[in-house]
Amino acid sequence: MKEQQVAQILQELAEQEVSASLDLWPAIQARLQPHRRVSQWTRFMPATRLGWASLGLILFLALGAAAYAVTPILSRVSQMEAGLQHIEQAKLGQELNLSQTVDGITVTLQWVYADANRLVVGFTVNGPKDLPDNHALSPARVTLTDAAGTAFPGSVGYGVTGQSDILKVSLPSGEGAYLFTFDAAPIEGEPAELDLQLVMEVETYVVPTPVPPTPGVYEDRGSLDPVVPVATAGPFTFDFSVPFIPGRTIEVQQTAEAAGVAVRLERVVVTPSETRAILCFVPPDGKSEQWLPNVTLSTAGGQTYVAGPVYYEEQVFTMDRSAITTVSRIGEGACYLYSVLTPLDDQSGEWTLMVTELVGFDLVRLGEQTRLAGPWVFHFVVE
């Protein structure tokens, strides 16, 4: 078969199924509205689990019990993640409204929440009224510690400043609303409440001008100029107490084997804001830092949540906030954290967690993968 014939057959196969009258525009237009390009909002994660990047645009959620004064912007922002939206609507958490002003900048810690999976703080930043238009403020070096000085690792953060088409808000210059979450792993036992300290600084920076990518360089290497703060205010320090929600911990302690690899499901922790599973395995080459599992969780109610290296990117790009899932390695060991950021705390019965594949990434030959097919299946009861 000659090349031209192969090409012709492929063309015919394609045209047989996909005609020239195809029109995707109505469907794209319909999906476009909630995906309007936002230049002043982002969901971001710190470079490491030890703290926050100095620059972040995150969004803020204020929750409340009956005495809450939930601002519309914070309620709207909570909708960006199902777990946070749930605890907002369920009116969990503690309203504080503690304010501090340093060098003309006021930080107000409005609301806090704590469960066995994560801790959440919500605050606003208000700068001086004469802040130049091309200047912005950003929280920096945000840390959360308990009474013993144990630091909680930073997790996911959200925030908003200026105008946001997605959130349908428009904040005056110098104002921002922020939500930070922290990993609750250091908490031991089930205390009734936690005594915590939140410390941060606020940096003032000049909003950089976008720089076009260099010709010949892949488009995703285009970047903004480096951001250098022009001023730093603080520290802002808040001491407070927050009720602790233990959730449900299921010590599964099961091991399954496939493809010559044993995978162990240690435990599952279900709280209002998140569901976590701890999985451990030693990959064939022993290089745990290069492997991730593809995981599927099925509840008794029939919902299914998937996560893994091939799924996460899809979720971010499609901006599907209904069930964000992640999987990541824990520390430097051979265990991995599978997380579902959607509320499952009202679910009970028999659940199934299945590791469908183990994916090994070649850190030298980027793009090369080794995939071990499972499955490794675990059944457990959530009461």
Partner 1 sequence: MEEQEAITRLKRGDIGGLAALVRKYQVQAVQTAYLVTRDRALAEDIVQAAFLRAYERIGQFDARRPFGPWFLRSVVNDAVKAAARRERQVSLETGSEGEETSLADLLADPGPGPEDLVETEEIRQTVWAALGKLPPVQRAAIVLRYYLDLSEAEMADELACPPGTVKWRLHAAQKRLRTLLRPLWSAVSGPGHGE
The site for partner 1 (CB under 8 A) is made up of 1-3, 5-20, 22-25, 27-29, 31-32, 35, 37, 210, 212-213, 215, 218-220, 222, 310-311, 314, 317-318, 356-357, 365, 367, 369-373
Alpha-carbon distances, residue 239 vs 34, 98, 110 (angstroms) = 38, 9, 13
> Nearest Cα to 294, choosing from 258, 345, 322?
258
How many angstroms separate the CA atoms of 295 and 337, rounded?
10
Q: Are 126 and 106 in contact (CB under 8 A)?
A: yes
Shortest Å distance, C-beta 304 to partner 1: 14
Q: Minimum distance between the CB of residue 326 and partner 1, rounded to whole angstroms? A: 17
What does the angle CA 42 – CA 46 – CA 48 come to, to the nearest 5 degrees? 160
Say if strands 335-340 and 325-329 run parallel, antiparallel, or are unpaired.
antiparallel
Q: Which tokens go with 127? A: 């700068």
By C-beta, is 27 or 148 nearer to partner 1? Answer: 27
- Closest approach of partner 1 to the CB of residue 212, in Å: 7
Quick one: 103 or 362, whose CB is closer to partner 1? Answer: 362
**Please, what is the minimum distance in Å from the beta carbon of residue 37 to partner 1?**
6
**Residue 195 or 368 with smaller CB distance to partner 1:** 368
At its nearest, how many Å lie between partner 1 and the CB of residue 343?
A: 26
Minimum separation from the CB atom of position 135 to partner 1 (A): 21
AA identity, residue 184: A
Residue identified by tokens 């959730």 is 247
CB nearer partner 1, residue 344 or residue 355: 355
Q: What tokens were used for 236?
A: 């802002």
Report how far apart, in Å, the C-alpha atoms of 154 and of each of 48, 52, 268 are. Answer: 8, 6, 21
Residues 6 or more apart whose CB falls under 8 angstroms from that of 218 comprise none
| CB of 17 vs partner 1, minimal distance in Å | 5
Quick one: 20 or 148, whose CB is closer to partner 1? 20
Q: Which is nearer to partner 1, 226 or 317 (CB)?
A: 317
CA 360, 362, 368, 370 torsion: positive or negative?
negative
Of residues 239 and 320, the one with the C-beta less far from partner 1: 320
Closest contact distance (angstroms) between CB of 365 and partner 1 is 8
CA distance 106 to 125: 6
- Which residue's CB is nearer to partner 1, number 20 or number 192? 20
Q: Which is nearer to partner 1, 28 or 381 (CB)?
A: 28
Question: Closest separation between CB of residue 31 and partner 1, Å?
Answer: 6
